[in-house]
Structure 1
Amino acid sequence: MSANTETQSSSFDSIKWLVAIALLAAAVVGNYYYGEQVSVLYRAIGVVLLVIVAGVVAGLTDKGRRFRTFAKESRTEIRRVVWPSRQEATQTTIIVVVATALIALLLWGMDAILVRVVGFFTGLEF
């Protein structure tokens, strides 16, 4: 019985996906077809409505339900995050900039020394 229910669900999901894709295609084709005959406002409203309806139909599928569950859980997790204060963010940024500058100077110095050492041994001046 469970396998039969899954088969029906997947076949209905396929139909729902086809309907959603057909609605999106209708939005594109309708916008193109009525480009000269209907004002931009009405075409935009029609496209937005068709996209919303296609989204609702896609949301009724198994993947759509899983996506909604994932989005709700993500929103809950975002609320749990402890964001740094402005002062903490500024201090961390300054530390990163200073550390990057120091490493850049160190690498520049090492490069200059290595160029001179290689030039000394090869007899080439750089």
Structure 2
Amino acid sequence: MSAQTETQTSSFDGIKWVVAIALLAAAVVGNYYYGEQVSILYRAIGVVILVAVAGIVAGMTDKGRRFRAFAKESRTEVRRVVWPTRQETTQTTLIILVATAIVSLILWGMDAILVRVVGFFTGLEF
């Protein structure tokens, strides 16, 4: 019995996805088709409504439900994060800038030395 339920759910999900894609296509085509005849305000409202309805239809599918659950869990995890203070962020940024400057100077010096060594061995002056 559960196999039959899963088959019905997946077939309905396919239909829901087709409807959602058709609504999005209608929004794009309608916006293009009525580009000259209808005010941009009405076209924008129509596109927003069609996109919202397509999102609701897609949200009723199995993947849509799983996405909503994932989004809820993600939001919960973001609330648990301990964000650094402004002072910690500034100090870390400065440390990274200084470290980047030091490494770039070291690489520049090594490049200059290697250019001179290769120029010495090949007889080409750079």
- Whether the TM-score (by the shorter chain) exceeds 0.5 is yes
1:115 aligns with 2:110: no
State the number of aligned residues. Answer: 126
Gap change, CA 1:41 and 1:118, over 3 Å in 2: closer
Q: 1:115 to 1:4 in 2, by over 3 A?
A: same
Bigger mean CA deviation after superposition, 114-123 or 55-64: 114-123
Structure 1 residues 45 and 122, CA gap change in structure 2 (3 angstroms): closer
| Greater displacement, 104-113 / 8-17 | 104-113
**How far apart are 1:44 and its partner, in Å?**
1.3
Change in Cα spacing, 1:113 to 1:40, as seen in structure 2 (3 Å) is closer
Q: What RMSD, in angstroms, separates the aligned Cα atoms of the two structures?
A: 1.4
AA partner of residue 92 (structure 2)? T
Structure 1 unmatched runs, 5+: none
How high is the sequence identity, in percent, across the aligned residues?
Answer: 84
TM-score by length of 2: 0.91
- What's the TM-score, normalizing by structure 1? 0.91
Q: What's the counterpart of residue 100 of structure 1?
A: 100
Q: Which range is displaced more, 59-68 or 115-124?
A: 115-124
**Unaligned stretches of 5+ in structure 2?**
none
Distance (Å, rounded) in 2 between the aligned partners of 1:24 and 1:72: 25
